[in-house]
Structure 1
Amino acid sequence: MVEAEAWDDEVGEVEVDEARETSADEPDDTGWKTSTAQMAGLSRLIRAGVWALVVSGPVLGTLAFLSASAPAQGATKPAPAATPASPVGPAGFAELFVSAYLQAGQGTERDLAPYYSGSLALAVKPGTRTATQSTVIASREVQPGYWSVTVAADVTAHDDKGKSKRLGVQYFRVGIQATGPAGAGGTAQNTTAGYAATSLPAQVAAPTALKPGALAYESDRGSSSSDPSVETARGFLAAYLTGTTELDRYTSPGTRLQPISPAPYAAVKVTGVQDDATSAGQQKVPADGTVLHQLVLVDATDQAGSPVSLSYALTLKSRAGRWEVASVDDAPAIRASSPPSAAPHTTTPSPDASTAVPSPSPSNS
């Protein structure tokens, strides 16, 4: 009986195992057949795919970087911005030419050869006129490498007796051709700079005089005001121009201002103060951080005792119940939207005919 029961158990286990294998090979509810071998193969396939991605990651990243950094086929590179031509060289050459032209005369035409190579003969006596000072007031490139330059010259006439008479500021326009790079006013790179006048100067009318726009200082404090801001300006400018006291006692902390050295003046007198405060008087210093803009007029007496009129635009700030100078401004403040306007026309009297000096006139030779 025992053997029979053991046999029955073994047969039952075999049937159960066969049933399990059979059920594993049969389709499940989803229609897929699964088995232990199939699951193991699928697992190995997934692991192989993951390792393939891991190994190929650096390779794919390198390819992506190279493709991004490589220039696109057919893409056009932006053209470099053209360097604007500089007027400095032609302007300086024109100024030298005008000075030499005013002093030249009959027999000294060769003095103009470095500037103008045309054939000419001057009728005026050399040294009849000279430019005591000159400056360029306008320059314009009329063609690439070709400039129109206007020079203002303070001209003095000299007679045969050695007497001189100032003729005033006169204006001369010159055509200048330039070679060389754009920095020299030319158009050709990698070439030597050079200049040449295309003709003698042409004397022209003075530029239109302008009346400046309205300044931003609407309150007039006068010259003897006891206003604390005026007192600060008075003390600061005295220290700034004469060096008799330290500037630190009048300036805001951190302000870096140095007095003029050596001191050009022995004394300073304030003759007028204007500011942009809205109140009529500033007997009491306002809250800390309040800003005030001033225009201060002074008569400064030099070491020889001669008075010199000057004006200074200052910015003041309040701190601890006192005004302090925060800066000496670059220029007086003007009102917003206040452009300059044309000044009334005035005619400059011409010199007497007896003292007038003829201009050099060219003639072909």
Structure 2
Amino acid sequence: MKLLRRKARRQQQDWPEDAVADAVETAPAATEQDASAAAEASGWKTSTTGLAGLARLARLGAWVLIASGPVIGVLALMGSSAPAQSAPKSAPAVKSNASTGPAGFAQLFVGAYLEAGEGSEEKLAPYYSGSVALTHPAGTRSALRTQAMDAREVSSGYWSVTVAVNIAAKSKKGGYSDAGVQYFRVAIQSTGEDKTSGYTAVSLPAQVAAPAALKLGDLGYPTSRGSGANDPASDTAASFLKAYIAGQGELDRYTSPGVHISPVVPTPYTSIKVTGVQDDSADGTSAKVPGDGKRRRLLITVDAQDKAGHSFPLTYALGLTARSGRWEVASLDDAPATASASTPSAAPDAQAPSAPSASATPSGSASPHSG
């Protein structure tokens, strides 16, 4: 080993300077080759040839996308326009059979029919296409008001309409007098495919009898108390109505706690007078206020007098509740109760929830409460 070392030192001393310089210049190249070899061994080598290949691959992909753009657009359009399998189909338009149109058309036709006369038959042309020859003078009758009372669809697109008319009849002297309310039945047919685009009368009107009126016995107030002068419930109702339409007193003095009713404004009357009281109580003679929570329905008729001294009859349906020895108005009903809907106040299910107590007042009077 020592002999080999001495030989190597002698060879190094014998190298020329040019050889040493060449060795120094080639050292970096050797280093780069070593680094490249190390990178290749570790799997992270990136050569110029590899980068060029990647660039060519990217350019190829871009051209593929550009070339396939129109095809993708067509496919997307077809996909958006095609109906989804789960999307529900739109429902067909529903044809309306409402009688509002035929009823209004019949009212106009009857009004024109009553006012037409000899020489003015053309006024009926918009409603009736048949031939008409009138012999009475035009304006002999006039329709003051018209109202459709009944409209029935006899068959598809074909209605029978009954019209009530308040008629003014012309006298021989030229003036008009009230001829009362008369009734005419008209046959109306639709002229459009949808049964609402137009109508026509298939014949002239037929005058008919008035419809049967409802019987008063259908109302749910079997007990009559006359003017109710000695009845605490009637007295509370009268005081309430004086405040409600005549501006006499405060409404909350006569209503149950939590009940809010606004008075009529401006005040239309100066005073009222009770002319009749009916209720749903089974005892028409009792004037005693029952225990808390008892309910009672009242139908009260009054004569209301205005500032000019004219009196007008009015009827109100009220619901009352007993509390602390007096009656209080619990509701101003939209309509009088019918016999089928009315329940006698003496029945157990007519009990109302107990209201907060208040100081008792003498029978037949009303005072402020703590509501």
Same fold (TM over 0.5): yes
- In the alignment, structure 1 residue 228 sits paired with structure 2 residue 240: no
- In the alignment, structure 1 residue 254 sits paired with structure 2 residue 266: no
Residue in 2 that maps onto 1:107: 119
Q: SS at 1:245's partner residue? A: coil
Equivalent residues in 2 for 1:176-195 (5 A)? 176-179=188-191, 188=194, 193-195=197-199
Alpha-carbon spacing, 1:237–1:207, altered in 2? closer, same or farther (3 Å): same
- For the 8 Å contact 1:229–1:282, the answer to whether it is kept is no
Shift of 1:285: 2.5
Scaled by the length of structure 1, the TM-score of the pair is 0.64
- What RMSD over aligned residues (CA atoms) do the two structures have, in Å? 2.9
Shift of 1:108: 1.6
Q: SS at 1:240's partner residue? A: helix
The structure whose Rg is larger is: 2
Alpha-carbon spacing, 1:337–1:246, altered in 2? closer, same or farther (3 Å): closer
Distance 2:239 2:226 in 1: 16
Q: Which runs of 5+ in 2 are unaligned?
A: 1-84, 343-371
Residue in 2 that maps onto 1:217: 221
Shift of 1:337: 9.1
Residue in 1 that maps onto 2:170: 158
- For the 8 Å contact 2:220–2:341, the answer to whether it is kept is no
- In the alignment, structure 1 residue 172 sits paired with structure 2 residue 184: yes
- For the 8 Å contact 1:265–1:302, the answer to whether it is kept is yes
Residue in 1 that maps onto 2:138: 126
Q: Which runs of 5+ in 1 are unaligned?
A: 1-69, 181-186, 339-365
Letter of the structure 2 residue corresponding to residue 130 of structure 1:
S
Q: Which has the higher contact order (CA 8 A, sep 6+)?
A: 1
**Matched residue count:** 259
List structure 1 runs of 4+ shifted beyond 4 angstroms: 76-84
Distance 2:284 2:310 in 1: 34
Letter of the structure 2 residue corresponding to residue 136 of structure 1:
A
- For the 8 Å contact 1:105–1:124, the answer to whether it is kept is yes
Residue in 2 that maps onto 1:208: 212
Equivalent residues in 2 for 1:19-58 (5 A)? none
Distance 2:307 2:108 in 1: 35
1:335 to 325, 335, 339: 339
Bigger CA drift: 216-225 or 77-86? 77-86
- For the 8 Å contact 1:147–1:175, the answer to whether it is kept is yes
Paired-residue identity, %: 55
Residue in 1 that maps onto 2:151: 139
Q: SS at 1:223's partner residue? A: coil
Alpha-carbon spacing, 1:92–1:121, altered in 2? closer, same or farther (3 Å): same
Scaled by the length of structure 2, the TM-score of the pair is 0.63
Shift of 1:177: 1.6
Shift of 1:78: 12
Distance 2:173 2:203 in 1: 32
Residue in 1 that maps onto 2:295: 291
